[in-house]
Structure 1
Amino acid sequence: MSELMAPAVSGAVAGLGVAVPMGAMSVLLLQEAMRHRGAAVAAAAGIAVVDLGYAALATVLGPRLASHVGPVEAWVRLASALILLVIAARGLHSARGPRLPQVTAPPARSPAPAAPAAPAAASPAVGSGAAGPGRAFGRFVALTAVNPTTALYFAALTTAQGGGLRSGPTGAAFLAGVALASLLWQQFLVVLGSFAGARVSPTVRLWTFRLGHGLVAAYALKIAFPLPRT
């Protein structure tokens, strides 16, 4: 069991690295939670499913690629680390200015004039107009899947450490860490959106960007060393 702890922790860090920066998807999730918590829970699961899917695909292909580049494995690790550093640098650079998507509360409805009581069957259901859990899940799966950065992130990461993910149990532990970390973070955003919503300050969101992309940069440095010998 102890030999599976390292890949599980590694997967958790990888999952947090891609999930923590509060970009456009996080803003959409917060807004969904402010409108309908049940749909937001399903939407959060959809984001985590896509993260797991990309990680699983990369975990299958990464070790196979790494097994064919044994003589230049150190250079492959270095190239993957550089890709991750570029992703981290772009994310950190975007956190410097006030260009992050804003969280806006749903507009307050003006009070309607009093009307005669209608039969119970004719009254609209509470929360009508909000997307149901199934539709929210599908919508967030589609929106997350079209982001190429997530796929590139996991491809670079798993190729760099492909040798360590070749065994089935090790790869499964890595994927479990990715899925659990991503799901827990997205569900935390649902809770945050339900209770805090629009009160999430720009400063807090900037620090999530710095934290998440800082994790990516740290991961890149971890897999880059030891440097290839010339």
Structure 2
Amino acid sequence: MSELTTPALAGAVAGLGVAMPMGAMSVLLLQEAMRHRRAAVAAAAGIAAVDLGYAALATALGPWVASHVSPVEAWVRLASAAILLAIAAHGIAKSRRRPELSPPPDPSAPAAGRIPGPGTGTGSRPGPGAAPRPAKAFARYVGLTALNPTTALYFAALTTAQGAALRTGPAGAAFLLGVGAASLLWQQALVGLGALAGSRISDGARAWTFRLGYGLVAAYAIKIALPLP
């Protein structure tokens, strides 16, 4: 059982590391939850699905890459750790520049500075009949999240560095289960927060989620780098 528990816990930490930093997608998800909780639940599942998809692709390729570079395996781990540390440092640095924490323009927004109601032609909050369909919200957030190359790079570096540990099917599946569960739980927690709060989370609180999330990434990088070559 412990042989599967370890990769599952590693996957959970990896999933939280990529999900916790509250960037533009998290802000859009919070805003979605303030308007329509059912659509936000589907949107959160879409974000987690992309995290899981990138992790699955990286897990499938990571062990293959690791098996073909076994003579320099320690250096591959070190390079992967360096990439993860760079991602963590960049993310933490972004948390100090508050203007960059604002979400990107919503394509459905008719005017700047307004929170649009999906399916409406004005910037006011939509009425009950204007609620977006969960399937549409899921697809929209899958598309927006998939545009972020950092997630793919993150999982590629992480799984290549520990390719030997994920080489067996059960271990890889346990890792993916941990990634998917952690990401989904975090995104759904944001939906609950957005539905209850009724207003945007403060910039200070969002900055701390960046530090905590990317702190996990940095800790993971140090773990896979040791022992040094």
Q: TM-score, normalised by structure 2?
A: 0.89
Compared with structure 1, are the counterparts of its residues 182 and 77 closer, same or farther at alpha carbon in structure 2 (3 Å cutoff)?
same
Contact kept? 1:62, 1:158, Cα under 8 Å = yes
Tell me which stretches of 4 or more aligned residues in structure 1 moved more than 2 Å.
102-107, 125-130
SS in 1 for 2:195: helix
Task: Give 1:222's aligned amino acid.
Answer: K
Separation in 1 of the partners of 2:227 and 2:198? Answer: 44
Deviations 1:31-84 (A, max 9, x none): 110110000000000000000000000000000000000100000000000000
Task: Give 2:72's aligned amino acid.
Answer: V
The CA deviation at 1:187 is 0.1
Unpaired runs of at least 5, structure 1: 108-124
Matched residues, percent identical?
72
The CA deviation at 1:131 is 1.8
Unpaired runs of at least 5, structure 2: 105-112, 117-125
Contact kept? 1:105, 1:198, Cα under 8 Å = no
Provide the residue aligned with 2:185 in structure 1: 184
* 1:209-224 correspondence to structure 2 within 5 Å: 209-224=210-225
Deviations 1:196-216 (A, max 9, x none): 142521111110000000000
Provide the residue aligned with 2:142 in structure 1: 141
Deviations 1:132-182 (A, max 9, x none): 101000000000011100000000000000000000100000000000000
2:170 is the alignment partner of 1:169: yes
2:37 is the alignment partner of 1:40: no
User: Who wins on radius of gyration, i.e. which is larger?
Assistant: 1
Task: Give 1:4's aligned amino acid.
Answer: L
Separation in 2 of the partners of 1:126 and 1:199? Answer: 20
- More divergent stretch after superposition (95-104 vs 50-59): 95-104
Provide the residue aligned with 2:91 in structure 1: 91
SS in 2 for 1:198: coil
Separation in 1 of the partners of 2:103 and 2:55? Answer: 29
SS in 2 for 1:195: helix
Contact kept? 1:30, 1:197, Cα under 8 Å = no
Provide the residue aligned with 1:117 in structure 2: none
The CA deviation at 1:105 is 8.6
Q: How many residues align?
A: 212
The CA deviation at 1:126 is 5.0
SS in 1 for 2:128: coil
Contact kept? 1:54, 1:151, Cα under 8 Å = yes
Separation in 2 of the partners of 1:9 and 1:197? Answer: 33
Separation in 2 of the partners of 1:12 and 1:143? Answer: 23
Contact kept? 2:82, 2:221, Cα under 8 Å = yes
Separation in 2 of the partners of 1:161 and 1:44? Answer: 28
Compared with structure 1, are the counterparts of its residues 59 and 102 closer, same or farther at alpha carbon in structure 2 (3 Å cutoff)?
closer
Task: Give 1:213's aligned amino acid.
Answer: Y
Q: TM-score, normalised by structure 1?
A: 0.88
What is the aligned-residue RMSD (CA, Å)?
1.9
SS in 1 for 2:199: helix
